[in-house]
Amino acid sequence: MQDIASYLEGVIKADNRTELCKSVIPGLIGAINSISNVLQNSHEVSLVGTANAFGDDQLNVDVEAESVIRSAITKCPAIITASSEEDPVERTVAHVNQEGSNDNYSSKEKYTVAFDPLDGSSIIAPNWAVGTIIGIWEGDTALNQMPSSSQIASILGVYGPRTTVIVAVRIPGQTPILFEAGLEADKPKDFHVIRPEIKFSDPPYPTRYFAPANLRYAAESEAYMNLINHYIKEKYTLRYAGGLVPDVVHMLVKGHGVFVSPVGAGKAKLRRLYELCPIALIMECAMGVATDPVTGTQILSKPVADCDERGGLICGNLEEGKFAIKELAPLSKP
């Protein structure tokens, strides 16, 4: 077992990122550990009778996960602003320690956090793996900033038989970092590094994987149906859990895979600030790709102008991502 802060200081190696290493990332990982405990003790998953600002019905576990992360953020003075999928408005953080209040905080380190506290609500009741998605941005806002440079870190928390985290850090001018670690409920400040470096594998691949989201759209789109048929005819292995976090993490663990979520006639479901951008950073740190299936452009190449911006997603290892974009190119034509 290793102390989270000590490990981060050893791999990030940046004198001007003390709070990121000692407070911000460890605090958010600690929140993921606490959410794991909440889920393990939430024997019933039920609607609470409220909806978030996007109109999505809230579950009791959604509300509790949101509360856990908000509480952790108040203890990190370098986190100046925060917003979430449950409360999609950037708000100044009121810190619990008055000495660490925003008015008195003088460090050059200032971060904004944008998070989805519990991604995969629809598959929690059957007890499938779900996750938390967190993006960490430089400065006091994530809006109207270039994601490729301003979003400097992202964290995926995975709640399955084990609780694990995938952590990506990409600071301009430094080598990107992407690692996986396991958490223990009784040791919130420690973790076990499972893989100190995560990269997609090089071909040939012993097994090729595909995860087709929004599969119903294949009934309307010949291009998407043809892509699905390609995967079947070429004997790809289907691995689709119905949750963005477990599907993405599966690809990272196996070293290969493609996740495809095209946009049909209805409104896209994936939100850029809380899901697409953090996932895209992790894909790029793994030497993979994350692309908008409509425009064919990289997810991180366009600023987020509004908290409710949405889109589709093609992500995975570079070869598969490029092929899927090529095959779905008709979707972007009028």
Q: What is the pLDDT of residue 334?
A: 39
| Mean pLDDT of the region 103-132 | 87
Taking 70 as the threshold, does the pLDDT of residue 54 lie above it? no
Bigger pLDDT: 93 or 334?
93
CA dist., res. 33 & res. 179, Å (int) = 17
Cis peptide bond upstream of 204, omega within 30: yes
Report pLDDT digits (tens) over 194-245: 999 999 999 999 999 999 999 999 999 999 999 999 999 999 999 999 999 9
Q: Which residues contact 180 (CB under 8 A, 6 or more apart)?
A: 164, 165, 166, 167, 193, 194, 195, 198, 252, 253
CATH 1.10.287.180 assigned to domain 209-332? The reply is no
Phi, psi (rounded to 5 degrees) for 187? -135, 75
**Sequence spans of domains, the chain:** 2-195, 209-332
Report pLDDT digits (tens) over 174-196: 999 999 999 988 777 778 999 99
Task: Judge whether 61 and 45 are in contact, CB under 8 Å.
Answer: yes
CA dist., res. 137 & res. 209, Å (int) = 31
Taking 80 as the threshold, does the pLDDT of residue 281 lie above it? yes
Taking 50 as the threshold, does the pLDDT of residue 319 lie above it? yes
For residue 252, the one-letter residue type is: L
Bigger pLDDT: 303 or 2?
303
In this structure, the strands spanning 111-119 and 79-84 are: parallel
Taking 70 as the threshold, does the pLDDT of residue 103 lie above it? no
Task: Judge whether 54 and 308 are in contact, CB under 8 Å.
Answer: yes
Architecture per CATH, domain 2-195, reads as 2-Layer Sandwich (3.30)
| Helices and strands per DSSP (H, E), number in the chain | 9, 18
Q: What is the pLDDT of residue 133?
A: 98
